[in-house]
Every structure is written in structure tokens, then in C-alpha cells.
Amino acid sequence: MEVSLPVSQQRLSLSWLLSDERLGLRLIVTGQPWFWSIQSIELPDPGEYIDEGAIILLTGLGFADEPELFSGYAEILANKGAVGIGFGTGLRFDHVPPELIRAAQSKGLTLFEVPLPTPFISLTKKVQDERVRLARLQQESLLAAQEELNVAGGLGVRKLIQQASSQLQASLCIVDSDGRLISSHGIMAPQALKVAKCCLATKKTTSSAGNYEDSNYLIHRLDAHGDRFHLLVILAARQFNSYDRSIVKHCAGLADILVQRPASLRKARSELHTLALATLLGENSSSEILARVFESAADTTGRVRAAVVCGASEHFLNRALTHFDAELAAANRYLFSLEVGSASTLLLFRGTRTPAEIREFFGPNAKSLRIAVGAPMHWSTLNLKIVEDLTVAARTLELGTLIGPQYVGTNWIAQAPVRKALDARSRQTIDRLIEHDTVHDTELVATLEAYLRAAGSLSATASATRVHRHTIRSRIELIAEICEVDLRDPFTRAELLLIILSRSA
């Protein structure tokens, strides 16, 4: 099923139609394996009524005395774009005429017999019911995609653009009216940015569609705020359809909310800008601003607990963070987070929080997370070494596991001799995958990590990554080819998992 296409444009499989034993259809001539519609027409010359890609049903009423005319009839169907013929026997013809068989063969048309007990309306109804089913699936797919965008949007404009890029299999960027890049994602993101700047330069800033080099683009102008506005540009090496446009429209609506500058946030933004400027200039006053910022994260003594949370995938992490942020919002508290790697985020909690309480913040999403919690400390003593130890500890855990500070810090993977050996092996294996992911916008490293954690189980990997098992199999075969390793060997899998873990050390 091609769920990204409008239902009317989705082709149907001839084998699907013929496989229904209740219809009793018998294939006589094999032609195209696909069709788009099915029509019942008895006219000897039905040319003007034929839909492109149609199967024509007839009983041959107009050919009973002149079966030799089937040759010209088949030519008319082929010229008008029909792909097959369903011939009803038992009325004018007891068997499918040999003249029609030869005509179908010469014109490359599919030909099958429809027995007398099977009314033509049963075939047309079957196709109509399938269209209804496909429409329902497409609507469900669209709603699921929009919900994933909602989750990503709750984590900011960058996550939103990444998710939309993945769903559309396209490159996206958002720029403001001065040409400043707000966010971008995708292998053709630089080209998308060029399209945006070209539109700004030529003052063609309305929503539009067009071509750029060998690609197609959509431009969506977000709502203006004063004299300031934003452009969302989507670029892909294919045509966009109505399903894509629905995704883009929803993404644009969320992006519009995220890039606004409401008055209620002006004071917070001003303090953030002051902190950035003070840090840039090395002013001591920045410590006072930092104290005010971290006051809402710390307990009454100024202590915080740092925790690194790793998700089974970006999707599961985003969902967990959205749930966590909602819990914080209900308590009128703010989220302190920093991305520290693929599907990994640093979070700050009050120092009085216990590891068990921290786990409860994520609710049912905790089963898809690996969580390493540090000891309570004054916010000013938090440093990169602590974060690195937490990150490595979290990434080595099983899904659904949380460890406290007593288990964090034995970071032997990051020790120089071990790291040197793993780095050398990484250049021969994992680094090749990283390069492939960067060039081809694939997810081979993430797939391999999930596969290794699943002890080489394709079904468990598919479940963890929410990718079809056959796709996982193809990716694993490609990974083995690129890295030149045998992933069936458990020692090889253990070695590669250590290498991947060492990348975050």
C-alpha cells in the first residue's frame, strides 16, 4: 500500500483481486501487475469512457457474431490506457474467445475470466471497499504523523523540523525575514536555505511551490508579527502530494507558535541575552544572573541532581521529555535540559529528589529509557566530567533501568589506553557508518546500536526502533557490508557495542 499517496492515486495489485477465491476469477493472459480502477462497459468502442489504468469488464454482447473485432477492441483499450480485461463467460460466450486471447497478448493487456455466478458488481464493490479501507488507513497514518509532530514540537523548533524531515523524506529549513537560519535538517538543507534566501532577495515571500535544479520545493509563509515573518521551505527530489501538504500545513502551524516572541517571554529572553553577552565579555555579573536562573532548578540550599536520560530512540526520548515537561508545568516549574548525544539528554532536578521520584516523573515512558542519576551537589559545581560519567553510565544500561550515584563514575571505557584501542577499531567500522549517515541521511549507527543491544534479534530491534523488520534486515546487511564484519558473531557484536558506547565517553 502506498499510504502517502491520495487514495484515488493508489494502485491496486491484480494478484490481490485474483486471490479472492469467492470470485472464482481465472487468469488467462498476464499483463501489468497493477490497476487503478475497474469499469463495466459493453460498448464495442468505449474509448471516451475509459479511465487510465482501468480494467474493463464485459460479456462480449456486441461481438457475438463478429469475434474477429476483438483485435480492434483491444487496440482501443490499450491506446486509451486500460491495463486489462475481465471477460464474463456464460452469456454470449461459453469460453473466453481465442480471438480475444490473441488480441490481449498482442497489446500487453491482462485478461482474466469472470464466471457466470460472479456478477460484475461484486468486483466493483470489492475495489470500492478497498478504496474505503485505504482511505481509513491513510487518515490514521496522517493523524499518527501529526501526533508525532505535536510531540516533537513540544521539544522545540529543531526537533519539530527533524521530525517533519523524517516524515516527508525531505529537507526543511526555517528562516526569518532577514534571512537568518532558525533551524534546518536534511541532506539538501543547504539547497533549501538557498531557495529561501532567493525568495527573500526577489521579495517572493508568499506561500508557493516550484522547482530548484532537479528538486521540487514548497514554501509556507508563517504569520507575520509586526514587520517580521518566517519562511518554511521544504525541498525534495520528488513531487509533493496532498498527504505531504497536510503534513506541511500541520508542521507550519506548530512552527508558527514556536517562533513567535510573545510579550510574556520578553523578560526571560532579555535575561538570557544579558547572560550570553556577559559570558562573551567575561563579566563577573553573569554569576548573579546564573544564580537567578538556577534558583528555580535547585532546592533551598542551592543543590541539584543531574541525570542523563537515554531513549530507545529519538521518538521514545521525545515522548518521555514531553511527559516530563507536562509534569513540571503542572507544578509551575521549568525544564532544564541539554542534548548530550544521540537520543540522550541531560536533565536537572532539585537536590532533594530521590532516584525513585525522578523515575516517576516519566510515568509509563520510563520503560523505554536508560537513566543515570548523580549525587546532589551545588549547581555551581556541576561540570563536564560529571556529565560525561553520567552519559556513559546511562548508555550502558538495559532499557527500563535506573541507577543512582553509587554506580556512576567507574568510567573505564573513557580511560586513555582503552579509548585508544577502541578508536583504532572505530575508524575501521563505526566511523564508516557515521560518514554514510552524514552523506546519505540514513540511520545506520542508531539501527546498529539497537540491534546490538537486542543481542542480534531483528524483531526486538524492529520493536525498539519502530521500523519494519524487513527494513531492519536490509539495514543490518548493509552495515555488515560497509564495516566488513560478521554480525552473526556474538564477539563481533560485543566489540561493536563497546565501540559505540565509547563514542559518548
Tens-digit pLDDT profile for residues 164-178: 999 999 999 999 888
- Please give the backbone phi and psi of residue 369, each rounded to the nearest 5 degrees, phi first: -125, 160
- Residue 113: all three cell numbers together: 475470466
What pLDDT shows up at residue 2? 44
What pLDDT shows up at residue 159? 92
CB atoms within 10 A of CB 124: 16
Q: Which of 86-100, 225-239, 253-267 has the lowest mean pLDDT?
A: 253-267
Using H for helix, E for strand and C for coil, what is the string for 433-494?
Answer: HHHHHHHHCCCHHHHHHHHHHCCCCHHHHHHHHCCCHHHHHHHHHHHHHHHCCCCCCHHHHH
pLDDT digits (tens, 9 = 90+) for 16-35: 999 999 999 999 999 989 99
Asked if residue 229 has pLDDT above 60, the reply is: yes
What is the Cα Rg of the chain in Å? Answer: 30
Please answer whether residues 247 and 138 qualify as being in contact, where contact means their C-beta atoms are separated by less than 8 angstroms.
Answer: no
- The 8-class DSSP code of residue 409 comes to -
Comparing 382 with 285, the larger pLDDT belongs to 382
Comparing 501 with 462, the larger pLDDT belongs to 462
pLDDT digits (tens, 9 = 90+) for 414-453: 666 777 777 888 888 888 988 888 888 888 988 998 898 8
Please answer whether residues 157 and 173 qualify as being in contact, where contact means their C-beta atoms are separated by less than 8 angstroms.
Answer: no
What pLDDT shows up at residue 383? 87
Please, what's the largest Cα pairwise distance for the chain? 102
Average pLDDT of 385-398?
85
> What whole-number distance in Å separates Cα of residue 426 and Cα of residue 422?
6
Contacts of 302 (CB under 8 A, 6+ apart): 294, 351, 378, 379, 380
Asked if residue 220 has pLDDT above 60, the reply is: yes
> What whole-number distance in Å separates Cα of residue 322 and Cα of residue 152?
8
Asked if residue 3 has pLDDT above 50, the reply is: no
Average pLDDT of 38-47?
89
Distances (CA, A) of 469 to 318, 458, 475, 492: 23, 6, 10, 22
pLDDT digits (tens, 9 = 90+) for 242-271: 889 999 999 999 998 888 755 556 666 666
What pLDDT shows up at residue 206? 86
Read off the pLDDT band of 40 (50, 70, 90): very high
What pLDDT shows up at residue 112? 96
Q: Residue 473: how many CA atoms within 13 Å on its side-chain side?
A: 4
Which domains does the chain show, CATH number per domain? 7-129 (3.40.1390.20), 154-258 (3.30.450.40), 296-410 (3.30.70.270), 414-502 (1.10.10.2840)
Work out the end-to-end distance of the chain between its first and last CA atoms, rounded to an integer number of angstroms: 43
What pTM did the predictor assign? 0.53
CB atoms within 10 A of CB 31: 22
Contacts of 116 (CB under 8 A, 6+ apart): 88, 89, 90, 91
Asked if residue 462 has pLDDT above 80, the reply is: yes
What pLDDT shows up at residue 198? 92
- CA triplet 118, 119, 120: central angle to 5 degrees? 115
Average pLDDT of 315-325?
90
